Structure formats: C-alpha cells, structure tokens
Amino acid sequence: MDIVYISDLRIDTIIGIFDWERRVKQTISLDIEMATDIRKAAASDDIKDALDYKSVAKRIIAFVEQSEFQLVETLTERIAGIIMDEFNVPWVKIKLNKKGALRGSRDVGIIIERGSRD
C-alpha cells in the first residue's frame, strides 16, 4: 500500500472539558496518513483515479470547524471514520496535536491508527 499524507493541517475549533475551553476556539494540528494504491492514478495522470487530498482536507476542515467535542479522542475517532467511510480509505493514521493544552509542555495530543494497511 502507498501513503498519501497531509501534514500540520491547522484548524480552529471548540475542544476541551474546561469552561474556558468551551468559550474560545483553539487551534488543533492534524497529521494524517492514508493508505491507497497510487498505481491507477499514476498510469492515467487523472485526479479521478487518485485519493484527492484537497477534498479530504476540505471535508475535515469543515467538520472540525463545526464540531464542539470535549475530548480529542472523540474528535480524532470521528475524523478517522469520515476519511475511511467517505473516501474509501482502508487504513488511516491520525496525529492530533493540541498545543498549549498542558502547561510546561510544547504540545500534547494523540495518535490513532484505524483499519488495515493490507
């Protein structure tokens, strides 16, 4: 399997459990890796045969901007579901970074993998 990736996709959203987090948008950063087979697109040189990372990014941005989850775990799981279900991706790895969430730390977040790379 080949990998199409999106790195450091920054999106402002309501996320968190504390009262102040429910009142202000915070910026999250996403690194997304998606399994695909690029051979058909490489042979045809046609975007309809490729995993269109621009379409994936636009869909995820729209979803995250409208979301108001408390937990990064919930948000990340929903993002994985959208990518796999709507873009026919068999495996996805997502790293969600929530800068500033932990005093004294540069950043904090989670990494999940869903599906099968085979």
| 2, 35 Cβ separation under 8 angstroms | yes
Give the Cα separation of 75 and 17 in Å (integer).
13
Closest CA to 30 of 104, 81, 93, 115: 93
> Which residues are tagged catalytic?
98
